[in-house]
Each structure stands twice: as C-alpha cells, then as structure tokens.
Amino acid sequence: MTQQLNDNEVRVEFTVDSPIEKAYDVFTTGMNSWWPREHHIGVGALAEAVVEPRVGGRLFGRETDGTECPWGRVLVWDRPTHFAFSWDISLDWQFQPDQAKTSRVDVTFTAVDSGRTAVTLVHSGFENHGEGWQSMRDAVGSDGGWPALKDGYAKAASAA
C-alpha cells in the first residue's frame, strides 16, 4: 500500500515473507540483489548497488568500469529495526553534495511473526530540494518509484 500522508512525505508499507534480521540485511547490505539497474544516476551502466553498513557509510552505485557514483549516506544503522539514509540526489537527478538540499528515507522493520516482517518506508524532507521539490516527491511516489522497488525487494527478501 502506498499513500502520501501530506505534501512532503511518501510512505510505502508492506509485509515480506522473511524473518526481521534477513529482511533488514537484504534491504541494506543485500541491496544489490534487488535494486533495479535502470535506477541509477551515473553515466555508465550500473554493476552494483552498495551500502556501507555503518552510520556515515555511503550508498553508491559502482559502474561496470569501476566508477563510483554516490547517492546517499547512512544516517541510522540500528539492525534489525531501523535503517535511514539521505537521498543525495538533486531535482535534475544528479549527485547532490550539499546535505542541506537532500531528503531522507527511513525504513523500519517490525517482526509480524518468526517468518514475516512488516516494512515501512517513509521518504520525507522533499522541501529541502528547493523550488520544484514536488517533482521529486511525485517521482519517488509514482508507480515507477518506491512502490516498484518494493516489489523487487520483497521478492529478494522472500527468496534469500
């Protein structure tokens, strides 16, 4: 289920058939297993999606030629319940190094039972992107944004 709670937040809630630790690990250090190759702001082809597993760690794409394209920083690493990262992507879909102009993605994991986990993703702070920020909110909240990525992640988490 996807819903916008207000003008500057996108929320996606769903359940995966995976224990909480595995759900967390697949979303974070296992991101490469589910991140779509076409969701990449670099110039070259995306070979790998990488999350460095610590507060301050980078989220980046490694291209086939080895070039690294940063697009986020780990803000919260609280395994297995909470992962948050900055969305260091500008309105023209380029790396945004100015942290004051980035938004935030919080992902929380709650055990439903021993084999299922409720996942809530909240992308907020779009106004930090500046004039025209609504275009970023609309893009990540669209069918091709977080709702589509949710499906690939859920499949990977269930299979892992």
Spell out the alpha helix ranges (H) of 19-159: 20-27, 134-141, 146-159
Residue spans per domain, the chain: 2-35+78-159
Contact in structure between 5 and 11 (CB atoms under 8 Å): yes
Radius of gyration for the chain, computed over Cα atoms and rounded to the nearest angstrom = 15
Bridge partner list, 121: 12, 107
For residues 81 and 109, give the distance between their C-alpha atoms in angstroms, rounded to a whole number.
5
- pTM, entire model: 0.94
pLDDT tens readout for residues 122-151: 999 999 999 999 999 999 999 899 988 998
Among the listed residues 69, 68, 74, the one whose alpha carbon sits nearest the alpha carbon of residue 87: 74
C-alpha–C-alpha distance, residues 85 and 52, integer Å: 11
pLDDT for 72-113, tens place per residue? 999 999 999 999 999 999 999 999 999 999 999 999 999 999
DSSP, residue by residue, 4-57: EEETTEEEEEEEESS-HHHHHHHHTTTGGGTS-TT---SSS-EEEEEE-SSTT-
Residue 54: count other Cβ atoms within 10 Å of its Cβ. 9
Q: Tell me, which fold does domain 2-35+78-159 have in CATH?
A: Alpha-D-Glucose-1,6-Bisphosphate; Chain A, domain 4 (3.30.530)
